[in-house]
Structure 1
Amino acid sequence: MSRLASLPLRWNAQGLLPAVVQDAETGQVLMVAWMNEEALRRTLETGETWFWSRSRQALWHKGATSGHVQRVREVRVDCDADTLLVLVDPAGPACHTGHQSCFYRSWGAFTGEAGEEQGSAAAQWEAEPPERRRVLDRLFAVIESRKENPPPGSYTARLFAAGEDEIIKKVGEEAVEVILAAKGQGDQRLIEELADLVYHSLVLLAARGLTLEELEAELRRRFRPSG
């Protein structure tokens, strides 16, 4: 309890503090819940988030049932000492709906109008940059690293050394493989060939000096509703 007692916290009249939970890696706000002293103590001791349910009047361990626990990296206190920020590594979606973040609905971009239940496609792209985008970010970072510092024996480094024409040829070959897989080689084979196509397309992107952000910007533009 010494660690908890040393925190200059200003609990509300019910003995609670709001806790904002944020993905430590992406910065995405995942959820907001309440903590009492016992929930905070368990969070600090176990390294996973615990909260206080005002409706059930009981402690709850995030992810105890679903397996979507939140492993705590750091707990911060705001300047007024009445709000907590909990930086976590989430093991799954934070929201009971299955969304990565509870904040998946958009009120609209300064329009004053509430969005649809799921938000527009563009709003979902912005509000939910989840694991799939994180994987692409990491993959592209590795590809760029192979371009700048080619290690011996690296297939990606060999592609860059062969030149842009060879990379373009590989993209074409992989596109054909996707078509053939889709025509009767089974779903798993199709997934594998699509992964190869995405990978070689990202190699081409890096070879041309383009960035993943430029590709994402074009996808966002296409997601915007017309008119």
Structure 2
Amino acid sequence: MLDFKKGAGLVPVIIQNNQTLEVLMLGYMNKEAWEKTQQEKRVTFFSRTKNRLWTKGEESGHYLQMVSYAVDCDSDTLLIKVIPNGPTCHTGARSCFNTAYNQNFLFKLENIINERYTNPTENSYVNRLHHKGINKIAQKVGEEAVETVIAALNETEEDFINESSDLIFHLLVLLREKNINLGKLAKNLEDRHKK
């Protein structure tokens, strides 16, 4: 249960991209905005400058579709994970914060691979691999692993980075073929770390 009394009727709301985990913006909600967000599954804030409820995207069409939420330990701050329908910032940037995007690109790449599986296109490398089947995909992971080891031992840093990137890409395709996402790997690694 959110405590709206501490902040004079408002709670800060952190908006995070559900796929990349990038923080997109910070806004405020009163109880009415929170209830509307829960009902419509679109994020609605209380605008302190307009002094009214404001659904993000009501003018631009760049809505924030709520996927999940969490309340902090003091019950006075909200974290909402969203699927953004376009840029989040009014400037046209994906985030209101000037942060590097590449730190979360693996999640975006996973999403691109999923999209290729769901909506295959003729010229897609992912689509061609998928049609060759799991044996070919697993073989590519093995080949890229060997090339990564060779690059680590005998080649330049740039070669090693390129081969490592190829390995991770093909591993992501293999994970998708097996219907396993990065979230499951992260959970497994976290569980193993606790032991």
Tell me, yes or no, whether TM beats 0.5.
yes
Go from structure 1 to structure 2 and tell me whether the alpha carbon gap of 1:36 and 1:139 turns closer, same or farther (over 3 Å shift): closer
User: Which residue of 125, 139, 143 corresponds with 2:102?
Assistant: 125
Aligned residues of 2:19 and 2:111 also touching (Cα < 8 A): no
Matching of residue 209 in structure 1 with residue 144 in structure 2: yes
Q: Percent identity?
A: 32
Aligned residues of 1:104 and 1:124 also touching (Cα < 8 A): no
Could you tell me which residue of structure 2 aligns to residue 31 of structure 1? Answer: 25
2:46 alignment partner, SS class: strand
Go from structure 1 to structure 2 and tell me whether the alpha carbon gap of 1:130 and 1:97 turns closer, same or farther (over 3 Å shift): farther
Higher relative contact order (CA 8 A, sep 6+): 2
Matching of residue 75 in structure 1 with residue 75 in structure 2: no
Please give the per-residue CA displacement for 1:116-168, whole angstroms capped at 9, x wherever unaligned. xxxxxxx3433x749963444537999xxxxxxxxxxx63339939xx8xxxx
Would you identify which runs of 4 or more consecutive aligned residues in structure 1 move more than 3 Å?
10-13, 128-142, 209-213
Q: TM-score, normalised by structure 2?
A: 0.58
Go from structure 1 to structure 2 and tell me whether the alpha carbon gap of 1:65 and 1:139 turns closer, same or farther (over 3 Å shift): closer
2:164 alignment partner, SS class: helix
Bigger mean CA offset, 68-77 vs 128-137: 128-137
Could you tell me which residue of structure 1 aligns to residue 53 of structure 2? Answer: 59
Query: How many Å separate the matches in 2 of 1:159 and 1:44?
Result: 44
Aligned residues of 1:24 and 1:89 also touching (Cα < 8 A): yes
Could you tell me which residue of structure 1 aligns to residue 83 of structure 2? Answer: 89
Go from structure 1 to structure 2 and tell me whether the alpha carbon gap of 1:74 and 1:125 turns closer, same or farther (over 3 Å shift): closer
| Residue type of the alignment partner of 2:165 | L
| Residue type of the alignment partner of 1:82 | D
> Whose radius of gyration is greater, 1 or 2?
1
Which stretches in structure 1 are left out of the alignment for 5+ residues? 1-6, 106-122, 143-153, 165-203, 218-227
Matching of residue 44 in structure 1 with residue 38 in structure 2: yes
Please give the per-residue CA displacement for 1:77-136, whole angstroms capped at 9, x wherever unaligned. 10001100112122222112222222224xxxxxxxxxxxxxxxxx3433x749963444
1:209 alignment partner, SS class: helix
RMSD (Å) for aligned C-alpha atoms = 3.8
Could you tell me which residue of structure 1 aligns to residue 96 of structure 2? Answer: 102
Which stretches in structure 2 are left out of the alignment for 5+ residues? 119-129, 149-161, 168-195
